[in-house]
Amino acid sequence: MKKFGKYLLIFGFIMCLIIFAAGCGEKATSDGKKIEIKFSHVVAPTTPKGLAAQKFADLVAEKSNGRIEIKVYPSSQLYGDKDELEALQTNNIQIIAPSAGKLVALDPRFQLPDIPFLFKNEQASNKFWDGPGGQQLFAGLESKGIKGLASWPNGMRNWINGKKAIKSPSDLKGLKFRIPSGGVLTELHEELNAGAVGIPFAEVYTGLQQGTIDGTVASLDNIKSERYHEVIKNITIADINSLNYVVLANAGFWNGLADEDRAILEEALKEATVYERELSLEKNSFTKGSELEKIFTEAKVEIVELTDAEKKVFKEALKGVLEKYTPIIGEDLIKLAEAANL
Ligand code: LMR
């Protein structure tokens, strides 16, 4: 009996050791395991989005001592406009940052920043995305397997083309513009008797060069980084609408992260967002003697800067777009966007 008691004691001790070791093992697999994340986007590494994506990756590597690795794939290298959303939903990539309107098929409300002259500048759009309007839009993505994380701006969009200077709404008549996506941007051009054709971002330079399109809408930074100035003749700085990226993650991947890992990613993303927004302001600023002015002037591109009064004429000509899309996007969201301008 005494011997049996001794065995029982040894058995109990071994069991305790096993349970303790299993506990440690579990901790090691959730906390200590290496995580690899793919972040795919369509612009150059030197743009605000490209630089911020890399900064996000560097910060995450630093904060996790190299345990969490984000690999950034720029310039539509891995996925382009046509397939990146699907690749995100199937978790072939974990993070993307498309312009909001590219989510039109998933949720047409994401076209809100495409509405002409809704946001007066990118600071206003940041305010909207950081507030209840942005939260409402992101919340709607959860049921589609997507987690909305942040919004990054890249300036206001302008018209560029190879045919003529655009100064008033009638100047667009008969021109064919490439648009990134969606009903709002189609409507916007049709309202001005211009054509609109959806073409992936990676094909725009060739389209302009070969003349399959006359022009496109683009932020000043995208004109420079894609070298559109080489294949166009006119830029109209019109601040038509706001180019807003939404940073999105695969929801299953994101929600499945250990709390402390998600906290590392959230903290790094917050810092990267501040950095991106500063870069966007800097890189989209067109002032006398600015780098943009030098590049466009050297390329012999004619630049028209619309005055506030001229922008008002365009806004008036396009007010039907706002009227048509208010019930689609929701009056509450439009009101929140307008309030962000104050
Ligand atoms: C475009 O397609 O024109 C933009 O959305 C590309 C980008 O990501 O800036």
Domain regions of the chain by residue span: 34-339
Q: What is each CA distance from 261 to 52, 69, 253, 290, in whole angstroms?
A: 20, 11, 12, 41
pLDDT at 27: 33
Q: What are phi and psi of 232, to 5 degrees?
A: -130, 175
Structure tokens at 257: 């992260």
Task: Rounding to the nearest 10 degrees, give the CA dihedral for residues 289, 290, 294, 297.
Answer: -80
Q: Which residues contact 203 (CB under 8 A, 6 or more apart)?
A: none
Of all atoms in ligand 1, which is nearest to the CA of residue 101? 5
Residue nearest to atom 3 of ligand 1 (CA): 180
pLDDT at 56: 99
Question: Does 153 sit in the ligand 1 pocket, CB within 6 Å?
Answer: no
Q: How far is the CA of 120 from the centre of ligand 1 (A)?
A: 20
pLDDT at 17: 37
Q: What are phi and psi of 231, to 5 degrees?
A: -125, 15
Question: Does 42 sit in the ligand 1 pocket, CB within 6 Å?
Answer: yes
Neighbouring-strand partners of residue 249: 95, 147
pLDDT at 32: 82
How many other CB atoms are there within 10 angstroms of residue 164's CB atom? 15
Residue nearest to atom 5 of ligand 1 (CA): 99
Q: What is the DSSP letter of 303?
A: E
Question: Does 201 sit in the ligand 1 pocket, CB within 6 Å?
Answer: yes
Q: Looking up tokens 């904060």, which residue turns up?
A: 63
How many other CB atoms are there within 10 angstroms of residue 62's CB atom? 11
3-state secondary structure 230-260: HCCCEEEECCCCEEEEEEEEEHHHHHCCCHH
Domain spanning 34-339, CATH class: alpha beta
Question: Does 99 sit in the ligand 1 pocket, CB within 6 Å?
Answer: yes
3-state helix, strand and coil shares in percent for the chain, rounded to the nearest 5: 55, 20, 30
Q: CA 190, CA 309: separation in Å to the nearest integer?
A: 22
Q: What are phi and psi of 175, to 5 degrees?
A: -85, 150
Q: Is the dihedral of CA 267, 268, 269, 271 positive or negative?
A: positive
Q: Which of 195, 192, 196 minimizes the C-alpha distance to 168?
A: 192
Q: Which amino acid is at 44?
A: A
Question: Does 154 sit in the ligand 1 pocket, CB within 6 Å?
Answer: yes
SS3 label, residue 299:
coil
For the chain (length 342 residues), average pLDDT per consecutive 10?
48 39 35 92 98 98 98 98 97 98 98 98 98 98 98 98 98 98 96 98 98 98 98 98 98 97 98 98 95 96 98 98 98 98 96
Q: How far is the CA of 81 from the centre of ligand 1 (A)?
A: 9
How is 145-159 classified by DSSP, letter by letter?
A: TEEEEEEEEEEEEEE
How is 44-105 classified by DSSP, letter by letter?
A: -TTSHHHHHHHHHHHHHHHHTTTSEEEEEE-TTSS--TTTHHHHHHTTSSSEE--BGGGGTT
pLDDT at 1: 45
Residue nearest to atom 6 of ligand 1 (CA): 201
Q: Which amino acid is at 298?
A: E
Of all atoms in ligand 1, which is nearest to the CA of residue 216? 3
Q: How far is the CA of 109 from the centre of ligand 1 (A)?
A: 18
Q: Which of 211, 223, 243 minimizes the C-alpha distance to 296?
A: 223
Structure tokens at 199: 């073409």
Residue nearest to atom 9 of ligand 1 (CA): 43
The predicted-structure confidence for 262-291, as pLDDT tens digits, reads as follows: 999 999 999 999 999 999 999 999 999 999
